[in-house]
Structure formats: structure tokens, C-alpha cells
Amino acid sequence: MIIDKNQLATFAGGCFWCLEEIFKTFTLQEGIIEVTSGYMGGKKEEPTYEEVCSGRTGHAEVIQIDFDSSKVDYEQLLDLFWVSHDPTTLNRQGADVGSQYRSAIYYHSDSQKEMAVKSIDNANNIKLYSNPIVTEVSVLDTFYIAENYHQDYYRLNKNAPYCQLVISPKLEKLNISK
């Protein structure tokens, strides 16, 4: 019997450019097969970046992670998710404001849901943050892949102001910069 070790995880935590690069460069990257930026959680089919940024589609900027569960497990991805953004601010990450920047976990299975809820409870119980976590936990919806120019954005645009002022310091803080 062959067991497929590839699984998916889908997270929203502010700008997808930040999350994408964090999950592509962190120390367990040998278990990460692919990270794709996209949109999820709204009502508009096939949304564009401009539509999502308007705040009227209901979608969040998300990343979808294809990972090898024999090399990295879902709990490890959750641990990185918690430290990669501020899950205590509703619809905001730094200067990025709007429902498209909300913190969310879109689960692909009942076990992912259970692990996500348990992880939130644990983080709140140990006071990982001074404020309670407001991360939404929702069943996976349709994942819309973002436009090509959003994929690998940081790696292709390291000198862009947003990359220099927001993403690079975040990578340095997490000690995962290359």
C-alpha cells in the first residue's frame, strides 16, 4: 500500500507576499514542496487582486502550502504561522488594513481543524500574545491562485520598497533570511 505523504495547508496572515517567503525559507523547508499565493474565503468567483484589495469580495490573501508530512508536520506549520504574523489584530497586519489581511486557517480535514483549534487554545493558555487570538478557523473553500506577478514576489522584487521595509525585517526577526 502506498501512502501519499503530500498534504495541503492554507493560511491567511496579512499580505501573502510575507507569508509566502517565510514558508519558503524557514528551516524546515525540505518538507515544503510548494507555496502558492492566492485568495479564499469570499463570495466572488475568480477574483482579481484589485477586487480583493477593494475589500468587497470577502476574500483573504492566503498561501496554500503543499508539504511532505514525512518531513514536516502540520503542527510545525502552525507554530511558524503563529510567529509569522500578529493573530490578535482583527483585519490588520501592520499598515495593511482590511478584511483581506485577516488571520485565518482554512482546514483541509477534521484533524487539521482539531489541531488548529488546539493550537489556538494552547497559545492563548500560555499567553503567547498579550491579547487573545482572533484567527478565524474555517473549512477550506475554493482556492483561487493569485496572478503570476504575485508568485515568488519577494524573491523577484527584493529591492522593492515593501520588500525592504516589511518583508526583509520580518525574515530577519524570525532569523530565517537567506
Whether 150 contacts 45, CB under 8 Å: no
Q: Among 35-39, 55-59, 126-130, name the one with the lowest average pLDDT.
A: 126-130
The pTM (predicted TM-score) of the whole model is 0.92
- Hey, which residues are catalytic here? 15
Query: Is residue 1 very low, low, confident or very high in pLDDT (cuts 50, 70, 90)?
Result: very low
Domains of the chain (ranges, CATH numbers): 6-173 (3.30.1060.10)
Quick one: average pLDDT of 23-27?
A: 79
State the virtual CA torsion across 18, 23, 26, 31 in degrees, nearest 10: -170
The pLDDT tens digits for 80-99 are 999 999 999 999 998 899 99
Query: Cell numbers of 44, please?
Result: 466572488
Please classify residue 50 by burial: count the beta carbons closer than 10 Å to its beta carbon, then call 0-12 exposed, 13-18 middle and 19+ buried: exposed
Q: Which of 1, 7, 2 is nearest to 70 (CA)?
A: 7
Q: What residues have CB less than 8 Å from 177, skipping those under 6 apart? A: 25, 168, 171
